[in-house]
Structure 1
Amino acid sequence: MAIREIRKYDDPALYKVCRPVEKFDERLGELLDDMAETMYQANGVGLAAPQVGILRRVVVIDVGDGIIELVNPRILRTAGSETTSEGCLSFPGEYGLVERPTEVEIEAEDRHGKTFRMTGHDLLARAFCHETDHLDGKVFKTIAIEMLDEEDL
């Protein structure tokens, strides 16, 4: 495993739509392992592949209940709504108020290509949305209602 460089601010990889994963092989497993290690080292709760310069639909999330690996995730259903502050490892020190659903059902594949569904609530629902936005070239700043200073948190 290795720590990868997290792309920041105006890096073009952050604004591109990612391609689906088609090969479920050792390279994918290595990417997932590296992304998890990178996320933990940066004290994040989620990391998407374009944040480490890989334009594939791959995400890792850990909101405190253990690692969740999502390959080719797609949101199936959302419910509820909450507006709260949100940040991003690619925009250190920057925060914004973002409206997100409080419940999100996703479908994804694991590192071996097996399809599964999962429902997330509150922070996990927010992470599902934030990270899948990255896969579509969207960053939280483009959908923030208002940008906040660290003192506002």
Structure 2
Amino acid sequence: MKHLEDLLLLGDPRLYENCDPVLESELSMVSGWVADLHNVMEEIRAKYQFGRGIAAPQLGIMKRLIYLNVDRPQVIINPDYVSVSDETDELWDDCMSFPNLLVRVRRHRSLTLTYRDEHWQPHTWNVTDWAMSELIQHEFDHLNGVLCTMRAVDQQAFRWRPTPSEIEK
């Protein structure tokens, strides 16, 4: 089982690599990878009070696999964009691989995604919810070796995340 100390941190060269597709013959390995992703996400949530999604390469699993847990756990295998909206918006993005840093980025307001689930069933997802759209784009970027630091809107688009105790004040 992987833990928080297994999470790749900003500067690790593996975070900048393009991931390989998950093969159908590797499907039996997906449940173990997902358990690791879930465990590390729960440890991040406990320590930093954030975390809605994590991509496999953040744990050194160089496969096109995303684990989301917003309202329910969701496994996204080999995602691909069908389309993205022309309309964009900016937000302060965060990342488990650099949990104390926020980065101002621009993301598409909506998108359509194709992917396979953990049972290898194909899906097409029209994502119109802004929060979900930006989350998917963040995690999708990880699969292509792109970090939100590389999408900063300008050179002043970085700030430290307040600690939970600072937020309570």
Match of 1:18 in 2: 19
Hey, what's the Cα distance between the residues in 1 that align with 2:88 and 2:41? 26
Are 1:111 and 2:118 an aligned pair? yes
Q: Where do 4+ consecutive residues of structure 1 move more than 4 Å?
A: none
Q: Which residues of 2 match residues 56-75 of structure 1 at below 5 A? A: 56-63=63-70, 65-75=71-81
Q: Look up the SS of the partner of 2:98 in the other structure.
A: coil
* Paired residue type of 1:73: P
Give the equivalent residue in structure 1 for 2:8. Answer: 7
TM (norm. structure 1) is: 0.91
Task: Supply the AA of the counterpart residue of 2:39.
Answer: E
Amino acid at match of 1:116: H
* Mapped partners of 1:13, 1:2: distance in 2: 17
Provide the C-alpha distance between the structure 2 equivalents of 1:147 and 1:2, rounded to a whole number of angstroms.
29
Other structure's SS at 1:106 match = strand
Q: After superposition, where does 1:32-71 map in structure 2 within 5 Å? A: 32-43=34-45, 44-63=51-70, 65-71=71-77
Please give the per-residue CA displacement for 1:73-111, whole angstroms capped at 9, x wherever unaligned.
111112221101001000120111110011121110011
- What 5-or-longer segments of structure 2 have no aligned partner? 46-50
Which protein has the bigger helix share?
A: 2
Gaps of 5+ in 1: none
Q: Aligned residues: percent identity?
A: 25
Question: Is the CA contact (8 Å cut-off) linking 2:27 and 2:120 kept in structure 1?
Answer: no
Task: Report the CA distance shift for 1:137/1:2 in structure 2 as closer, same or farther (over 3 A).
Answer: closer
Secondary structure of 1:95's partner?
Answer: strand
Are the counterparts in 2 of residues 70 and 109 from structure 1 also a CA contact under 8 Å?
yes
Counterpart contact for 2:93–2:103, Cα < 8 Å: yes
Say which one has the larger Rg.
2
CA contact (8 A) 2:3 2:39 kept: yes
1:104 and 1:128 in contact (8 A); partners too: no
Contact 2:78 2:115 in 1 (8 A): yes
TM-score (norm 2): 0.83
1:77 and 1:104 in contact (8 A); partners too: yes
